[in-house]
A and B are shown apart, each in its own frame.
Chain A
Amino acid sequence: MTPLVVDASVWVAAADASDPFSGRSRAFLEAIANRGLQVALPAHAHVEVACALARRMRDGAAGRNLAARLLQAPAIEVYALDAALLEQAGLRGTNALLRAGDAIYAALTARVSGGLITWDQELVHRADASTPEMWLSENQ
C-alpha cells in the first residue's frame, strides 16, 4: 500500500481536543493505524507540529516532546529535505502556486507516490490533497 503524507494540520488538530476538527483527525489517524498504513513526513513537519502545539499550550517542552514522539512512531518515516526533494518542491510550488512549506509536502507526496492528507484548503484545491474526512469517506 502506498504511504500517506499527513500534514501538520492533522496532527495538531488531533492533539488539541478543543479543536472542532480534533475528533475527525483522531478518527482518521486511528483508521490508518488500524490498516497498518505507512506515513511519510517531510523533516520540517515536526517543527511545525512542535511550534504550533507549544504556542497553543504556552509550553515549549510539551510541544517539543509531542513532536519528538511523533518521530518515534512505528509507522512514520521522516524524509530529509535533500536537494532532490527541494528541487521538486520548487517545481511543484511554482507550477501550482503553493506556499513554500506546502510545496515540500506536495513534492514528498510525489516522491512516495502516495496521497496527501490535510485540513489546509489551499493544499486541497491546488495540490490534489484530501481532508481526513474525504479520505475516510473514500476508504470506508
Chain B
Amino acid sequence: MKATIDIPDELYRQVKVRSALVGRAIRDVTIELYQRWLGEGQPARATKSQQEWLQSWLAQADEYMTSAPPGPTARQILEEDRNRLEPR
C-alpha cells in the first residue's frame, strides 16, 4: 500500500541524511519504525548490549588486521591527515 504523509522539511532532511549515512532506504527505516511502534517485528537496532557490540567490533577489526601490511598504524595515518603546519 502507498501512503502520502506530510512531514516537516527539517525532520525529513535529517532522516534522509541519517539513512544515507547508514546505507538504508528511507522506506525500510519507515517500515521498521512502524513495526516498532506497533510492537511487532524486529527492533530498529540490534538488541545486543553495547559490550557485546564492542567485543564483536574489535574481533572483526582484529580479523581484518591480520592481513594488514606493515606500516604506520591507523591512528598515525589519521594524525598525519590532521597534520598542522603551524607550531602548537
Q: A52-B75, A120-B79 are in contact. Are A57 and B53 (CB under 8 A)?
A: no
Binary per-residue interface labels of chain B (16-45) against chain A in the complex, 1 for a CB within 8 Å, 0 otherwise: 011001110000000000000000000001
Measured in the bound complex, the distance between the Cα atoms of B14 and A120 in whole Å is: 29
**8 Å CB contact of A52 from B48, B53, B65, B74:** B74
B58 CB–A CB distance under 8 Å: yes
Chain B contact residues: helix, strand, loop or mixed: helix
A contacts with B, residue count (CB < 8 A): 52
User: Is B3 on the interface with A (CB-CB < 8 A)?
Assistant: no
Q: Which residues of A contact B77 (CB under 8 A)?
A: 12, 52, 55-56
Shortest Cβ distance from B51 into chain A, in angstroms? 5
Smallest Cβ-Cβ distance to A61: which chain B residue: B64
Q: Is the CB of B61 within 8 A of A15?
A: yes
Cα-based distance from A65 to B64 in the complex (angstroms): 10
Asked if A122 and B88 sit within 8 Å, CB to CB, the answer is yes
Give the shortest distance, in Å, between B40 (CB) and chain A (any CB). Answer: 20
Q: Which residues of B contact A36 (CB under 8 A)?
A: 50
A9 to B14, CA, bound (A): 26
A66 lies within 8 A of B78 (CB): no
